[in-house]
Amino acid sequence: MSGNADLVLPDLTGYDAVLFDLDGVLTPTAAVHMHAWRAMFTQLFADWGITPEYSDADYFASLDGKKRYDGVAALLRQRDVEVPWGNPDDGPEAETVCGIGNRKNVIFAQILRDEGVEPYPGSVRLLDLLRDVGVPVAVVSSSKNAVEVLTAAKLLDRFPIIVDGVVAENENLPSKPAPDVFLVAAERLGVSPARVAAVEDAISGVASAAAGNFALVVGVDRGTGADALRAAGAHIVVDDLDELVP
């Protein structure tokens, strides 16, 4: 556990609902996203002569937990590179923020098709527990691929409410760390944030849930670091959701 030896871990069955991020919380697709971003930006930076070269630190600083196009813009801005925003239907060859984001998504979709995805067993056990006691759940993800990932992981039927990157774009909801996506999910479940737990693995996602004043913010440390998750607003940090299953 991430420094919880002397703490009594919370019972999530006591909350009115539990909201889950997807990548890195329910499925190990965060690694697939990292792989796709790395492949795309490494080639882009080489083609454009951008330095320093892309590293995984860029993923955590500029991309993790954010909507795809916002992440592209943030990382390019960090390298003092400005390109037109473009449109969401830009082709992957377009030299726009949207085109670059769509280029990454082509790579991500190919990896997902080639390799598939299995949910974390501990996350499935927690979902089973919440289903058995009737606690509503929702997915809150910045990804536009949430439905595809949930389908590949055989989890789609678990979540009647999904607030993902598609919903955020269609409804003009700002990216995490703004709280809007979590608040919309709670509203659609008909529950108050003051009675809801949120589960996140990204710094921006933890900050989003904390900004929404959710009753409990659980950080899942898949490599971000427990201290960083707590600093962002996590009330408790675990290494795996199995720790929250009695």
SS3 state at 232: helix
Rounded to the nearest integer, the mean pLDDT of the chain is 94
What dihedral angle (degrees, nearest 10) is formed by the CA atoms of 88, 89, 92, 98?
Answer: -20
Of the pLDDT bands very low, low, confident and very high (cuts 50, 70, 90), residue 8 is confident
- What's phi and psi for 189, nearest 5 deg? -85, -10
Cβ atoms of 209 and 183 within 8 Å: the answer is no
Is residue 21 among the annotated active site residues? yes
Residue 3 has pLDDT above 70, yes or no: no
3-class SS letters over 26-38: CECHHHHHHHHHH
Exposure on the CB side of residue 77, measured as CA atoms within 13 A: 12
Q: Which of 6, 11, 16, 23 is catalytic?
A: 23
pTM listed for this prediction = 0.81
Contacts of 164 (CB under 8 A, 6+ apart): 22, 139, 140, 141, 142, 143, 144, 146, 147
Of the pLDDT bands very low, low, confident and very high (cuts 50, 70, 90), residue 29 is confident
**Domains with residue ranges and CATH for the chain:** 12-28+118-244 (3.40.50.1000), 31-115 (1.10.150)
Q: Where are the beta strands (DSSP E) in 86-224?
A: 137-140, 161-163, 196-200, 216-220
Chain segment 114-141, per-residue pLDDT in tens: 888 999 999 999 999 999 999 999 999 9
Q: Where are the beta strands (DSSP E) in the chain?
A: 17-20, 137-140, 161-163, 196-200, 216-220, 236-238
Chain segment 198-242, per-residue pLDDT in tens: 999 999 999 999 999 999 999 999 989 999 999 999 999 999 999
Look up tokens 């609902």; give the residue: 17
- What's phi and psi for 91, nearest 5 deg? -70, 160
Q: Which of 6, 16, 21, 242 is catalytic?
A: 21
Q: What angle do CA 61, 209, 38 make, to 5 degrees?
A: 25
